[in-house]
Every structure is written in structure tokens, then in C-alpha cells.
Amino acid sequence: MKKNITIVGGGIAGLTTAIALNKAGFSTTIFEAASEIKAVGAGLALAANAMKAFQKIGIAEDVIAEGRILPAFLLLDQQGKQLAKTNSEALSKKYGVDNFTIHRADLHRVLLSKLDPTTVHSNKRIVDIVTQGEKTLLTFQDGSMHEAEVLVAADGIHSPIRKKLLPNSKERYAGYTCWRAIIDNTKLQITESSETWGNSGRFGIVPLAHNKIYWFACINAKAQDEKMKAYRVADLLEHFKDFHVPIPQILQETKDEHLLWNDINDLQPIHQLAFGNIVLIGDAGHATTPNMGQGACQAIEDAIVLADELSKTNDVAAAFKAFENRRIQRVHRIVNTSWTFGKIAHIENPWLISARNFLFRHIPASINEKQVQVVYDVDF
């Protein structure tokens, strides 16, 4: 009989992995710290690699029904002049799937609907793990315990499981802080997805389904800056007032209670994901800055590769090692490239901004497309 697999964390990584494992014939038990399994955050762009993964486990149609296809992405300067355009339509045709945007809450709802609710336990915060031979004893905050034969840690960037296994792993502050919101698109009628690199920050616009837009704004700041923490829509409007249309208009349509704020962090690349019968997936193993929109996509890829490797052998530790071998280079590449993108996007020296913008305007589209292709090329 196939082993039951314990998953800690009911985020995108944990839920997608449970679906993939169930499809491969494994039973799963999810433990989630929050009192309710729901998405934290605003919108999400899912690239074709994630959509291919969803196809693989038979849920792409349900996810697509809740979101919006995204055929192109524009990179603009502060005046709204085009720096680059990534037309993913041609590539998407080649790969058979498109880029896509979705409200996080809608994605979570679809993922949860694919799981047996009796296997998903909320209000279960892990506070400690102790390995006992091949098994792992989990201790929860409420004092209860659970013995896991196989443990998948999908407990996010601050993963207590990773911290126990790799006490020296480091979260890094990227140097910029971020506000996000989802607002109504009825008045604005925005149809294009874009990111604007200005002189004092950047602003992203992502149309969603159901007549909504997701926007994000990032500004260079020190970590957990009290001034930034106190920012409201009026402060953002002042900060971005010289940015092109429709950025000030989007902010005018936003209410303070829509705002979500957090510093941008990632996990300094770690070189081990497999620890005997324990494996780290998603942000727990490779949290990245959001500059390539690939954090959740990589978590979704993890789910497919993990189920694939576990299906090939009864030796769990060997399957987890094979997972690590297949994943580590790819996720490091994403983390490092995304970190560099962030640094380039947040340049504030006017001379360097001019040089960067000149360069971006003259990069041939084929180079952009090659970059996209590397991300789309999955090994499943």
C-alpha cells in the first residue's frame, strides 16, 4: 500500500502537491496553521509553465474559468513609453498553454475544491519536528502530535521546518517595499498588463477576470520602515503623481482598506531540499522576489515533479533526492535572475536610468522571448 503523505502548509504549494499526489494514488493529510484555508494577497500571474502543470493534473480548465488570459506584457518608462514588449502569444501557441492572471482567492477555492475536506486540517500550527528513524514526529501549538511517515514542508518563506533542518538558511530583504490592491475596473477599463519603471519606484498593472484589476507599487526603503508602514493611498498618490496615465487614476480608485503592504524578501538559495523522508517545497525551499512572477509557478512545478518522483520508487528518500536534483538548478536560476531584475528595476541614479532604458528599448524581441522560453521549458 502507498504511504500516507503529511503536508504542512495549505498554500499554493501544499494544496497543489496534495492534488498531484492524490492523482498519483497517494493519500495525503494537510496541516495548516491558519484558522481558515484562504489566500493571503491580491492577484497572481501564472505563466505557461504553471498552466502546463495544472494541465498535467487535470485542473487547468477549472483554473482558467476563474481567470484571464494574458497575451502580452509591456514594460514602460515613467512617461508611459514602451521599453519592451513580451508577446507570449506565439510562445504560448508553441507550448499549447497561455499566461494567465487570477485572483488568489479564486485559485485557492479551485484547489481546495479538488481535495477531500476531511484530509485538510486548519488551526494546526507546527511548532516542532523531531525525526525518529524514517518517521517524523510533529508537535502542534495546541499540544497535539502527529507521526508522519513522509513529510512535505510547504510552510512558506518563514518555514519553521526549514529553520529546524537548516538553521543557517537566510531570508533576505530585497531593498524595496510593496503595496498591492485589487480594485474594480468598470470605470478604468484597462485591458493591458504592464509594469512601469520610474525614477522613484515601479508600478504594475494586471487585469483580472470579473472586471477587476490587480496593481502593485514598489519603492526603495529600509526594512520595515515605519514611514512606509504608515503610507495610505494619498501618500502613494503623491509619490506616483508624475507617473503616466492610468497610474494616478488607479490610485484614485483605490481605498485605504484595499491596501496590502509588505517588504519584499526572498530566501538566499539553499543547496538541499531533501532530508531523508522530509522534503522542502515552494517558498519553504526557494522563495523568490516577485519580479519574474514565478514564485507560485515554481511551487506548482514542484508539485508535479514530486508526485512524478514518488511514483517511480518505494524509496521515499531516493525520490526526494531525485526531486532535489531535478529542481535545485532551475529554482536557483529563477531566484538569482529575479533578484537581479529587482536591482535593475529599482535603479534611482538618473544617468543609470537613462542608460538602462536605452538598453531595454534596443534589446531585440528575440532575446526577451528566449528568456521567456527558459521559464516555459519544464521537464514534464
Ligand X SMILES: Cc1cc2nc3c(=O)[nH]c(=O)nc-3n(C[C@H](O)[C@H](O)[C@H](O)COP(=O)(O)OP(=O)(O)OC[C@H]3O[C@@H](n4cnc5c(N)ncnc54)[C@H](O)[C@@H]3O)c2cc1C
Sites of contact with ligand X (CB under 6 A) = 8-14, 31-34, 41, 44-46, 125-126, 154-156, 160, 178, 180, 216, 282-284, 290, 293-297, 299
**Residue type, position 274, single letter:** A
Residue linked to cell 534596443: 362
Give the span between the Cα atoms of 296 and 271, in whole angstroms. Answer: 20
Question: Which lies closer to ligand X via its Cβ, residue 84 or residue 297?
Answer: 297
Give the span between the Cα atoms of 66 and 55, in whole angstroms. Answer: 15
Question: Which lies closer to ligand X via its Cβ, residue 46 or residue 274?
Answer: 46
Nearest approach in angstroms of CB 314 to ligand X is 27
Nearest approach in angstroms of CB 302 to ligand X is 8
Question: Which lies closer to ligand X via its Cβ, residue 307 or residue 357?
Answer: 307
By three-state DSSP, how is residue 175 classified? Answer: strand
Question: Which lies closer to ligand X via its Cβ, residue 155 or residue 357?
Answer: 155
Residue linked to cell 530585497: 174
By three-state DSSP, how is residue 284 classified? Answer: helix
Diameter of the chain by CA atoms? 65
Question: Which lies closer to ligand X via its Cβ, residue 4 or residue 122?
Answer: 122
Question: Which lies closer to ligand X via its Cβ, residue 34 or residue 259?
Answer: 34
Residue linked to cell 481567470: 67
Identify whether the C-beta of residue 178 lies closer than 8 Å to the C-beta of residue 218.
Answer: yes
Residue linked to cell 513529510: 151
Nearest approach in angstroms of CB 362 to ligand X is 27
Identify whether the C-beta of residue 20 lies closer than 8 Å to the C-beta of residue 307.
Answer: yes
Question: Which lies closer to ligand X via its Cβ, residue 46 or residue 213?
Answer: 46
Nearest to 215 by CA among 257, 258, 176, 157: 258
Residue 52's DSSP bridge partners are none
Residue linked to cell 490587480: 214
Continuous segment of H or E residues that includes residue 187: none
Nearest approach in angstroms of CB 171 to ligand X is 12
Nearest to 273 by CA among 313, 339, 325: 325
